[in-house]
Amino acid sequence: MEESGKDLDIKEPDTNVYKEIGQLNQVKFYDYSVTDMMQTKKIKNVQPSDDSYVREFEGISYFNIKGASRPELVYERSKKISLIEGRTFNADEIKKGSAVAIISDKVAKENNILVGDKVVFDRLVAHISQGGSGDTETETKAKEYPIEIIGLFDVKEVKEKKSTGNTQKDTDQKMNQTIDLYDKLNVIYLPNAYIEKTQKEMLAFSYDSFPDNFLDENEEVMDKDTVLKEFSYTSIQVTYVLNKNEDIEDFRMLGNQILKDKGLGYYKIEASSDQFDSIAGPIKGMAKISHIVLIVSVIASIFIITLVTILFLRDRKHELRDILVSWREAIQRCRTNCRGSNVSSIGSDDVIRIFW
């Protein structure tokens, strides 16, 4: 990436930056989580009974790994999961990066795991090559990590929404709920420091096992030090909970200023409401257009009905004239027959005038 002929050095914010933002007065609670993914053969994940969402391929199960920077899990505090057995992390385990984990009760049941068990996770790395017959062949190697299970959690399922009457929309909605549920069930919670340590170990193990996975632009194997430096990457997800909604703009302004002062001005803080506004904006615009279209349609309908009525009357003017003539004659006969009596009559001119 270049600007004004100079290379830009894009760097990731470190944990100290996240902590400094977390100390702002507007913040009620915050946590940052190091994220990763694990492939394993020994531990089975959970999937829907109808196989509508598959997280396993050729005997390899996939798990999401999420870290914790404090004993209390932010996902438990936000009511997305609930601890049903065992305990959460303690401060010493968080600081040292101990090999302790919290898994879902469904995964524990699938693998006959109890709280207090030490489970060996075989973390896989893979190499894909072209076979002699032209088919791709996958070779895997595993590095084992013994981890103590200290707690079990349950996912708070989202209630199924009422049918919209649209079959495709209902199917997509149900599928999204299924994906969200099983993504949460197949999460392993570990201390952040433990995840950061094992990420570096797994990168080195991957290089030692399959160096051909790391080729430069000349299709030559890169040296290990370069790989460990250039391919080392830590994905961090940070969640800040504010004291009140009115603090959003102040928090955004002060947080962005901290990022700018740290030379990280290319990062911006976004609120969850920003995503809502980005979606709601076009919808509100469509609603306004629909309202205008409705008004125009009503006016056009009135105009068309009036025009049709005028055309109808114009085409029937001769018939109307004959009716009026017949009416006039009938009134004349009535006046002649009623002459000399006390019955009053209405003049034909009055009838015509009233009719028109």
DSSP letters of 295-314?
A: HHHHHHHHHHHHHHHHHHHH
Contact 206, 125 (CB under 8 A): yes
Angle at 206 between CA 200 and CA 208, to 5 degrees: 105
Placement of tokens 């994906």 in the chain: 179
Phi-psi region of 75 (alpha: psi -120 to 50; beta: other; left: phi over 0): alpha
Q: What is the predicted pLDDT for the residue at 282?
A: 57
pLDDT value of residue 159: 60
Q: How far apart are CA 126 and CA 140, in angstroms?
A: 4
Tell me how far apart the alpha carbons of residues 262 and 11 are, in angstroms, rounded to a whole number. 11
Choose among 208, 177, 139: nearest CA to 53: 177
Q: What pLDDT digit, counting tens, does each position of 5-46 carry?
A: 345 566 778 778 888 888 889 888 888 888 899 999 999 999
Q: CA 212, 213, 214, 219 torsion: positive or negative?
A: positive
**Residue range 41-64: average pLDDT?**
86
Place of tokens 């959690």: 153
Question: For residue range 133-190, what is the model confidence (pLDDT) as tens digits?
Answer: 666 777 889 999 999 999 999 997 666 556 556 677 777 788 888 888 888 999 999 9
Query: What is the reported pLDDT for 199?
Result: 92
Taking the C-alpha atoms of residue 76 and residue 31, their distance in angstroms, rounded to an integer, is 12
**The predicted structure's pLDDT at residue 144:** 94
Instruction: Using pLDDT thresholds of 50, 70 and 90, give the confidence band for residue 105.
Output: very high
Determine the 3-state secondary structure of 291 from DSSP. helix
Name the token pair of 278. Answer: 């980005």
Angstrom distance (rounded) from CA 196 to CA 59: 27
The identity of residue 53, as a single letter, is: Y
Beta bridge partners of 33: 237
Tell whether the model's pLDDT for residue 274 goes beyond 60: no
Say how far apart CA 23 and CA 26 lie, in whole Å: 8
Round to whole Å and give the CA distance between 26 and 251: 6
Q: Quick one: angle between helices 272-315 and 317-337, nearest 10?
A: 60
- The lowest-confidence range among 87-91, 105-109, 209-213 is 209-213
